[in-house]
């Protein structure tokens, strides 16, 4: 009987601790979502600031042109959607370019050695 009472008391304590942790977790989750929204807004604000500066320095640029999109980037001289390219794909492309450049450098070095 005594151990059963202790066990029930322990269960009650654990349930109370769980409820406190759950409340804390829910509050932190809400705060994290708010912070994510703030971070995204700051990125958008920075992009808009950059467009305003470009329009200031280059008077013929229309900063409100629909082609300017915060979700796009220039990759290998092309404007691409960031959602359409993954970091792994970009790493593979970069590795292929580096290998091509190494091969070209080797050919140039061999050509220079033969003409001395």
Q: What is the pLDDT of residues 66-100, one digit of tens each?
A: 778 878 888 888 888 877 655 556 556 666 665 66
Same domain assignment for residues 78 and 105: yes
Same domain assignment for residues 2 and 47: yes
Q: Which of 38, 53, 68 is the last residue of a domain?
A: 68
Quote the pLDDT of residue 14.
95
Indicate the average pLDDT of the chain: 79
For the chain, the domain total comes to 2
Same domain assignment for residues 80 and 27: no
Quote the pLDDT of residue 98.
59
pLDDT band at residue 116, thresholds of 50, 70 and 90? very low
Residues 6+ apart with CB under 8 A from 51: 63, 68
Q: Which two tokens stand for residue 77?
A: 């001289």
The pLDDT of residue 42 is above 70: yes
Look-up of token digits 């050919």: 107
pLDDT band at residue 60, thresholds of 50, 70 and 90? confident
Domain with 94 in it: 71-116
Q: Which two tokens stand for residue 23?
A: 């409340």
Same domain assignment for residues 26 and 48: yes
The larger pLDDT score, comparing residue 83 to residue 39, is at: 39
Tell me the C-alpha distance between 99 and 103, whole Å. Answer: 6
């Amino acid at each position: 009987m005594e151990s059963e009472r202790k066990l029930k008391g322990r269960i009650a304590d654990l349930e109370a601790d769980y409820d406190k942790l759950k409340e804390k977790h829910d509050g932190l989750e809400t705060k994290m979502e708010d912070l994510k929204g703030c971070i995204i807004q700051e990125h958008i604000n920075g992009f808009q600031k950059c467009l305003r500066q470009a329009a200031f320095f280059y008077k013929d640029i229309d900063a409100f042109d629909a082609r300017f999109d915060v979700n796009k980037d220039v990759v290998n001289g092309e404007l691409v959607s960031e959602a359409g390219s993954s970091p792994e794909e970009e790493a593979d492309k970069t590795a292929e370019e580096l290998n091509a450049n190494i091969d070209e450098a080797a050919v140039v070095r061999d050509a220079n050695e033969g003409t001395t």
